[in-house]
Amino acid sequence: MIQHRETFLENVAKQLGRPGRTSGVKRPVYQKSPQHNVMKDHSKDELLAILKDQCLAIHTDFKQTTHDGIEKAIDEVLEEYKASSVITWNDPRFDAYGLSDFQKRENVDVWDAGKESRSIELAERADVGITFSDYTLAESGTVVLLSNKGKGRAVSLLPTYYIAIIPKSTLVPRMTQATDAIHKMVEAEGARLPSCINFITGPSNSADIELNLVVGVHGPIRACYIVVEDR
Amino acid sequence: MKVSLFVTCLADVFYPGVGKDTVEVLERLGCEVDFPEKQTCCGQPAFNSGYHIDTIKVAKHMITTFEHADYVVTPSGSCAAMLKEYPELLKEERDWEKRAEQLANKTFEFTQFLVHVLKIEKVDAELNANATYHTSCHMTRLLRETEAPLKLLNGVKGLNLEELPNREACCGFGGTFAVKMSSISEQMVNEKVMHIEDTKAEVLIGADCGCLMNIGGRLERSGKQVKVMHIAQVLNSQESLTKG
Amino acid sequence: MPMKIGDPSFDTRVEKGLKDTFMRQAVTSAQERLKLAKGKAEEELGNWEEWRSLSEEIRAHTLENIDYYLHQLSENVSKNGGHVFFAQTAEDANAYIKEVAQKKNAKKVIKSKSMVTEEISMNEALESVGCEVIESDLGEYILQIDDHDPPSHIVAPALHKNKEQIRDTFIEKKGYTKSSNPQELTLFARELLRKEFLEADIGVTGCNFAVAESGSISLVTNEGNARLATTLPKTQITVMGMERVVPTWEELDILVSMLCRSAVGQKLTSYVTGLTGAREEGDVDGPEEFHLVIVDNGRSKILGTEFQAALHCIRCAACINVCPVYRHVGGHSYGSIYPGPIGAVLTPLLEGYDDHKELPYASTLCAACTDACPVKIPLHEMLVKHRRNIAEEKRTTLSETFAMKGFGLVASSPALFNMSTRTAPFMLSPFTKDGSIKNGPGPMKGWTDIRDFPESKKERFRDWYKHRESKKGGGSK
């Protein structure tokens, strides 16, 4: 439902001193487009090196592993964080990356569509939430997560720690490539965007007390990125 | 080269030495300096206070006064910037706007003129002193001139320049602001004085009489021994500073 | 909290600010750190000016066509099952928000940081219908439990408080028992607020940018509170100033990049969240109902005027972080939830000059704000435009008007100019403070209270020049 739109927009047009516009506006071809030149022509390895550096700036642990070493890498992080309970997305990539056994462990829960209260509760109690990254932005050290029924928003938010598994193929230079892809999804006819798209850059933090950086406020207090070589 | 001097009202009345030094440096560099006697003030006090109708009267007078000039040179970044504001001020009056543009295009702040027009970066000057330079706001952010004064000062024999901490910060002058909001201005100029003292400089150099009047007035009131000099005075200096 | 804050008198507020030594130290060090961080972020990008130009172009295009983009935005929100309410005034917005709260029988509302909800006094409105409203941004939370102390900065609202003051507030109001260590204080607030999130019926957010092409709203935070507010409660209400719209995700990229770098020097903040409608069929979390409230509240009056670019503001506070006046007087002195240069421009536009006519004068016109602005709003020029309006509406003191008219007369007449400069240091005569001569000692007091004034020289420059020319045998024109 849309309320009071007409009078509101009529007034706006009147203030602008012209007839109202509800169609026919084209975005200009902007004179500059510096965003496309950032890390242009960088290889995946170069992007990876930048991501690794950026992890230092955003207080995020970084690991790199092969396809076969991924479960071991997760275990190492769990041990380091002294974490036991885990919640993961219900995402076919866990299977594709050989993590279906991991998901069957007793201390590991999988986000379950349809049983709402239980999944949120599990996420709230879990020590660690694990998701895959859909796009990974080297410049800022950001993982981009597109939600759906198996990919709950809470998994990367409510647990104390957060692990993002980053397939190396998801690496792009910066936010531009991700927003371009999202823009194309919008343009594709009839498509609705995922209800929640998160750009996550490290653990949550705040500087509201005397501008001192405190890591871990409402979201995870520690985060780790595990980059996996694609098969 | 023929140059018309806009001395500015502050220099005319309170710092005539700045005007004399400006003339002498320009002449030494081979310029013929003319002083159109009808000149008054750039109009900035009224402009910044919002009295634009009154500023327009002043602007028109100044445009007429300098119409004949090849170049207008002024020892003030702030007043030069004000002259360059005239076209915008007169945009409703096409003819005047055009004349204002002509004036704006031929107007240069003193050090700007030396470095960019005369292409001179070293004048024959000597000042044996530790000094620091105040980059005034209107010079750097309105005129966009940051290099010319420093290039010239680096060429002065015997002069040791210390960088002023927080040099881009305003000194708290702001024309009417210094009087209207004097308690805030006081804190701003205090901070500037503190930074000047941090440099241990004996001389504070600037290119705007307004800032220098403010900082200098505060230095004097607080009994500080720092001497205040306009950059034209430094560039016309031939002696070592006598230390007290 | 209404837009107006603190003592009604500007002078009283400033005096209080200048005396608050802790606040001034906190602001000074915050400015230093934020300026440094922004400078580094600019350098890393390499071609900052190109980014600024692009950002300016995006904002200008969007505002020129704002009816088109708001129309598109509302269509798309509605298509995705959301509700859109266009609110002409603060009262309209609050009435709608209260109505939603009552329909949902809401008891507890959790809020993430939002300037526009402060501006319209939404909390008070919701409290009037029996809702408990809890701020979840750490800074806002601190202020809220400290008996609603007003924010002093649009990005770091509790900037004026030190950790000991915060500890004491936590002890007194929430039974805190630990130290003033920021980490401990923060963890304490995390525990308290996590419970509130789980119990809240409604999550209220602001909106950094709304994307017209997809009907999405975006939230930029570091703490993650906006994510919680849009993940747990069943109902989400997002309140946006009408100018916060961008055409597509491509523009969102640019403006979010500029916002993060300019506000805190980060390439991106910890969380940038794009939300489209309510949860989808089959989603487990996220709100079941989504309401977008688009607020005018005086903004449309700015459209089509010489102040239109003020609506380009992306609320990064870069101008505040470089302002030397803000540095000394602090945020509360501005008497508005929007402080600093952008506040001095925006507050009189939204609320009129009556209560805010001093604000445009609280600047030396040093232009540091204009240089810092990532979307190139000519802030210091707008302050002059305000002064012009104030002067032309004859709201200035009679003595100032008289002096400035006199100045105009004198400075456009060589004869009068010559005469007055010969007789007196005329420059300062126009500047009177608080207007009336019978209450104040002369116009020069403001100057001479704190500094010496140079004496006017007997021989003016023009006398010297004339003398020299006559000796040379030449003459000037």
User: Cα torsion for C19, C20, C24, C27, to the nearest 10°?
Assistant: -140
pLDDT digits (tens, 9 = 90+) for A60-101: 999 999 999 999 999 999 999 999 999 999 999 999 999 999
| Number of Cα atoms under 13 Å in the Cβ half of residue B208 | 24
Of the listed ranges A117-121, C91-95, C115-119, the one predicted with least confidence: A117-121
B107 and B131 in a common domain = no
For residue A110, tell me if it sits in a domain: yes
* Domain final residue, candidates B116, B151, B183: B116
d(CA C179, CA B64): 70
DSSP lists the bridge partners of residue A63 as A226
All residues of chain B having their beta carbon less than 8 Å from the beta carbon of residue C427 are 9-10, 13-14, 45
CB A198 within 8 A of CB A147: yes
Residue C476 has pLDDT above 50, yes or no: no
Within 10 angstroms of residue C115's Cβ, the number of other Cβ atoms is 17
In the chain, the amino acid numbered B232 is A
Average of per-residue pLDDT across C57-72: 98
In a shared domain, residues B112 and B6: yes
Q: Which two tokens stand for residue C237?
A: 């209400």
Alpha-carbon torsion B71, B77, B82, B88, what sign? positive
Show residues of chain B in contact with C457, CB under 8 Å: 13-16
Q: Do residue C156 and residue A208 have CB atoms under 8 angstroms apart?
A: yes
Res B240 pLDDT > 70: no
Integer Cα distance of C212 and C353 in angstroms: 34
Report if residue B241 sits inside a domain.
Answer: no
pLDDT of residue B105: 98
pLDDT, tens digit (0-9, with 9 covering 90-100), for A132-179: 999 999 999 999 999 998 999 999 999 999 999 999 999 999 999 999
Helix (H, G, I), strand (E, B) or coil at C420: helix
Query: How many other C-beta atoms are found inside a 10 Å radius of the C-beta of residue C372?
Result: 22
Residues of C within 8 A of B173 (CB-CB) are 364
Q: Which domain holds residue B102?
A: 2-116
Across the range B131-148, mean pLDDT stands at 96
Question: Would you call C187 exposed, middle or buried from its count of C-beta atoms within 10 A (0-12, 13-18, 19+)?
Answer: middle
Nearest chain A Cα to C112, which residue? A218
Q: Could you tell me if C349 and C298 are in contact, meaning their C-beta atoms sit under 8 angstroms apart?
A: yes
Strand pairing of A196-200 and C271-276?
antiparallel
Question: Rounded to whole angstroms, how far apart are CA atoms C355 and B124?
Answer: 56
Neighbours of chain B (3+ CB pairs under 8 A): C
Residue type, C33: R
Break chain C into its structural domains and give their ranges: 43-301, 398-472
Query: Rounded to an integer, what distance in angstroms lies between the CA atom of residue B128 and that of residue B234?
Result: 10
How far CA C430 is from CA of A222, C379, C427, in Å, comes to 61, 25, 7
pLDDT digits (tens, 9 = 90+) for C142-184: 999 999 999 999 889 999 999 999 999 999 999 999 999 999 9
A184: nearest CA partner in chain C: C249
Task: Give the pLDDT score at C464.
Answer: 94
The rounded distance, in Å, linking the Cα atoms of C336 and C359 is 10
Pick from B87, B116, B145: which residue ends a domain? B116
Q: Which residue has the tokens 């007003």?
A: C150
Decide: residue A229, CB within 10 A, 0-12 exposed, 13-18 middle, 19+ buried. middle
User: Considering the entire predicted model, what is its pTM?
Assistant: 0.94
Q: Kindly report, residue by residue over B42-90, the tens digit of the pLDDT.
A: 999 999 999 999 999 999 999 999 999 999 999 999 999 999 999 999 9
| Nearest residue to C133 via CA among C186, C191, C202 | C202
Q: Do A1 and C83 touch (CB under 8 A)?
A: yes
CA-nearest residue to B12 within chain C is: C461
Contact B179 C427 (CB under 8 A): no
Q: Which long-range contacts (CB under 8 A, 24 or more apart) does A17-20 make?
A: A17/C304, A20/C67
Distance from CA of residue A34 to its chain's centroid? Answer: 24
SS3 C275: strand
The pLDDT-based confidence of C441 (bands split at 50, 70, 90) is: very low
Q: Note whether B96 and B141 are same-domain residues.
A: no
CA-nearest residue to C162 within chain A is A210
* Helix or strand (DSSP H, E) at A101: helix A100-104
pLDDT at C243 over 90: yes
Q: How far apart are the first and last CA of chain C?
A: 64
| Predicted local distance difference test score (pLDDT) of residue A116 | 55
What proportion of chain A, given as a percentage, has pLDDT over 70? 98
CATH number at residue B167: 3.40.50
Q: Cα separation of B85 and B104, whole Å?
A: 8
Chains A and C touch (3+ CB pairs under 8 A): yes
Same domain (yes/no): B77, B20: yes
Q: Are the C-beta atoms of C401 and C391 separated by less than 8 Å?
A: yes
C104 within 8 A of C194, measured Cβ to Cβ: no
Q: Are strands C235-241 and C202-205 parallel, antiparallel or unpaired?
A: parallel
Please tell me the CATH superfamily of domain C43-301, with its number.
NagB/RpiA/CoA transferase-like (3.40.50.10420)
- Give the list of residues 6+ apart from residue C144 with CB closer than 8 angstroms, or none: C134, C135
Q: With contact defined as beta carbons under 8 Å apart, do C111 and C143 qualify?
A: no
Residue B240 falls within a domain, yes or no? Answer: no
* Rg of the Cα atoms in chain B: 18
The number of folded domains in chain A is: 1
Residue B166 lies in a domain: yes
Q: What are phi and psi of C22, to 5 degrees?
A: -65, -45
User: What integer is the mean pLDDT of B161-180?
Assistant: 94
DSSP-assigned beta bridge partners for residue A199: A144, C272
Q: How many CB atoms lie within 10 A of CB B243?
A: 8
Q: Is residue B204 part of a domain?
A: yes
Residue B116 CB contacts under 8 Å (≥ 6 apart), including other chains: B108, B148
How far apart are the C-alpha atoms of C387 and B170, rounded to whole Å? Answer: 20
pLDDT, residue C283, reads 87
Contact assessment for residue A119 and residue C286, using Cβ atoms and an 8 Å cutoff: no
Q: What pLDDT is recorded for position C396?
A: 84
- Which of B188-202, B210-224, C80-94, C443-457 is the least confident region? C443-457
Tokens 């210091």 identify what position?
A: C380
Question: Is C260 one of the annotated binding-site residues?
Answer: no
The H-or-E segment that residue C381 falls in is helix C379-392
Please tell me the distance from the alpha carbon of residue B54 to that of residue B56, in angstroms, as a whole number.
Answer: 5
Query: Among C232, C221, C231, which residue's Cα sits nearest to residue C137?
Result: C221
Six token digits for residue C40: 């580094």
Query: What gap in Å lies between CA A82 and CA B161, rounded to an integer?
Result: 57
Distance from C-alpha of C64 to C-alpha of C43, rounded to nearest angstrom: 31
Q: How far apart are CA A109 and CA A59, in angstroms?
A: 27
Percent of chain A clearing pLDDT 90 (strictly above): 88
- Domain count for chain B, please give it: 2
**For A116, which residue in chain C has the nearest alpha carbon?**
C284
Answer yes or no: do B150 and B231 share one domain: yes
Length of chain C: 477
Same domain, B106 and B127: no
Question: What is the ipTM, given to two decimal places?
Answer: 0.96
In a domain, A163, yes or no: yes
Backbone angles phi, psi at C290, to 5 degrees: -125, 125
**Residues C102 and C274: beta-carbon distance below 8 Å:** no
Task: Report chain B residues whose CB lies below 8 A from the CB of C324.
Answer: 169-170, 172, 188, 191
Judged against a pLDDT cut of 80, whether residue B134 lies above it is answered with yes
Indicate the helix (H) or strand (E) that contains A46: helix A44-57
In a domain, A25, yes or no: no
- Please give the angle made by the CA atoms of C105, C107 and C110, to the nearest 5 degrees: 120
Alpha-carbon gap: B73 to the closest alpha carbon of chain C (Å)? 15
| Cα distances (angstroms) measured from residue A139 to each of A176, A177, A188, B133, C364 | 10, 11, 27, 38, 38
Find out whether B126 and B156 touch, Cβ atoms under 8 Å. Answer: yes
Question: From CA A182, how far away is CA A179, in angstroms rounded?
Answer: 5
Tell whether B98 and B162 lie within a shared domain: no
CA distance C14 to chain A (A): 22
Q: Which backbone phi and psi does A159 adopt, to 5 degrees?
A: -65, 160
Residue B11 lies in a domain: yes
Q: CA torsion angle for A36, A38, A39, A44 (degrees, to 10)? A: -60
Instruction: Say how far apart CA C45 and CA C111 lie, in whole Å.
Output: 33
Sign of the torsion formed by the C-alpha atoms of C258, C260, C266 and C270: negative
Contact C271, A200 (CB under 8 A): yes
pLDDT digits (tens, 9 = 90+) for B120-132: 999 999 999 999 9
C411 with B43: Cβ contact below 8 A:
yes
- Average pLDDT taken over every residue of chain A: 94
Contact B217 C459 (CB under 8 A): no
Q: What Rg value do the Cα atoms of chain C yield, rounded?
A: 26
Contact assessment for residue C356 and residue C348, using Cβ atoms and an 8 Å cutoff: yes
Q: In which domain, by residue range, is A129 found?
A: 42-228
Quick check: C450 and B218 CB within 8 A? yes
Match 């009529």 to its residue by tokens. Answer: A10
- Domain CATH number, residue A196: 3.40.50.10420
Given pLDDT bands bounded at 50, 70 and 90, which one contains residue C436?
very low
Mutate to test the interface with C, among B8, B49, B173, B229 (most CBs of C within 10 A): B49
| B143 contacts B136 by C-beta, under 8 angstroms | no
Separation CA C377–CA C383 (nearest Å): 11
* C131 among annotated binding-site residues: no
In sequence order, which residues have a C-beta less than 8 Å from that of residue C260 and are 6 or more positions away?
C41, C220, C266, C267, C268, C269, C272
